[in-house]
Amino acid sequence: MSSSPSASRHALTLAQFKILLSAIGFGSMAILARFAYADGVSTPSLLFLRFFLAGMLLLPWVLWKKLPWPRGRALLVLIAMGSLGYAGMAACYFSGLHYASAGTIALLLYLFPAIVLVLSTLLLGERFSSRRMLALALALGGLAVTIGLELSAQPLGLLLGLTSALIYSLYILAGSRYTADCDPLTSACVVVFAAASCYGIYLAITGFHGPASLHGWLSVLGIACFGTVAALALFLSGLAKTGATQASLISTAEPVVTILLAWLLLGEPLGWSQVLGGGLILAAVVLISREARPEQVQLTELHD
């Protein structure tokens, strides 16, 4: 027996809210990372601690609740999502910062909604609606106004930024296509441990540079708890209902969160361009969240 339209709409709204909350969690990481870097933490060490601590926080809960672990193809996809997706995206993003400004790399990363929209249309058959086109234009326009684009970036920096966006797009599509039937918490656990393993191997070769004080450890723990465990579990939970395109568009609220938190906690200036750009991004989030997911589009089913 199929669920009522009101129940389906409520489930979709809840899933969209989960994606928005995940964007808030992910957006807080840049602020906490600033505090951790000030305490002497290196980028690879921070990323290793982020993923490893997140896994250690998730694992007891998963074992206590006796949640089912992913198996077969879904397990392999999740391992690839962590070791190649999360770890690879972060490596490209942070390496790109050496060759281009943070604004340029951030803007290039948040081209992922456009990439997801195109790939989901070409590969998964999602409808390329006028509403989605308008939401995409608002989101990308808002990002351009909010972050700004530094055209003097070195080509390698632009390439790394675009690669990070492409990897993240494939991560979203893989998650919506192959892991919708998996438990979000066990999925998140596999993803973060796979990513931690990659950085652990790298640090075994290059050396570990962790926090020097309690303040630094609290920052790292905040990244693991709020910016990784909560954000990742909420994203994976909402992704199955919203679909890849809606999830990626709603996630463009993340840089707005980062800018607002930087203004509140770090005293960074909040200009009119940021207010205008943030308004455009939030308008895109509202617009796409009001779209009911088409019944004929099922990202978890493969049409033979």
Tell me, yes or no, if the pTM score tops 0.75. Answer: no
pLDDT for the residue numbered 26:
81
What distance lies between CA 217 and its chain's CA centroid? 23
Q: Which of 72, 67, 134, 148 has the alpha carbon at shortest distance from 106? A: 148
Q: Give the mean pLDDT of 141-149.
A: 69
Whether residue 298 lies inside any domain: the answer is no
Task: Count Cα atoms within 13 angstroms, Cβ side, for 257.
Answer: 19
Whether residue 297 lies inside any domain: the answer is no
Task: State the total domains in the chain.
Answer: 1
Whether residue 8 lies inside any domain: the answer is no
Return the residue matching tokens 């973060």. 192
Flag whether pLDDT at 199 surpasses 80.
yes
Predicted confidence (pLDDT) per residue in 160-180, tens digit: 888 888 888 888 787 776 666
Q: Give the mean pLDDT of 2-11.
A: 70
Phi, psi (rounded to 5 degrees) for 244:
-65, -40
Reported residue count of the chain is 304
Greatest distance between any 2 Cα atoms in the chain: 58
pLDDT for the residue numbered 53:
92
Q: pLDDT band at residue 293, thresholds of 50, 70 and 90? A: very low
| CA–CA dist 253, 138 (Å, integer) | 12
Q: Give the mean pLDDT of 196-215.
A: 91
- Given 3-state DSSP classes, what are the helix, strand and coil percentages for the chain, each rounded to the nearest 5? 80, 0, 20
| Exposed/middle/buried for residue 101 (C-beta within 10 Å: 0-12, 13-18, 19+) | middle
Q: What angle, rounded to 10 degrees, do the helices at 254-265 and 130-147 form? A: 30
Whether residue 296 lies inside any domain: the answer is no
| CA–CA dist 85, 195 (Å, integer) | 8
Among 24-33, 61-70, 156-165, 273-282, which is the least confidently predicted range? 273-282
Whether residue 146 lies inside any domain: the answer is yes
pLDDT for the residue numbered 268:
66
pLDDT for the residue numbered 149:
55
Whether residue 174 lies inside any domain: the answer is yes
Domain limits at 86?
Answer: 16-290
Whether residue 210 lies inside any domain: the answer is yes
Q: Say if CB 88 and CB 167 are below 8 A apart.
A: yes
Flag whether pLDDT at 23 surpasses 80.
yes
Dihedral sign for Cα atoms in the order 287, 293, 299, 300? positive
Task: Count Cα atoms within 13 angstroms, Cβ side, for 200.
Answer: 12
Flag whether pLDDT at 196 surpasses 90.
yes
Q: Say if CB 27 and CB 175 are below 8 A apart.
A: no
pLDDT for the residue numbered 38:
84
pLDDT for the residue numbered 48:
93
More confident residue, 60 or 246: 60
Whether residue 34 lies inside any domain: the answer is yes
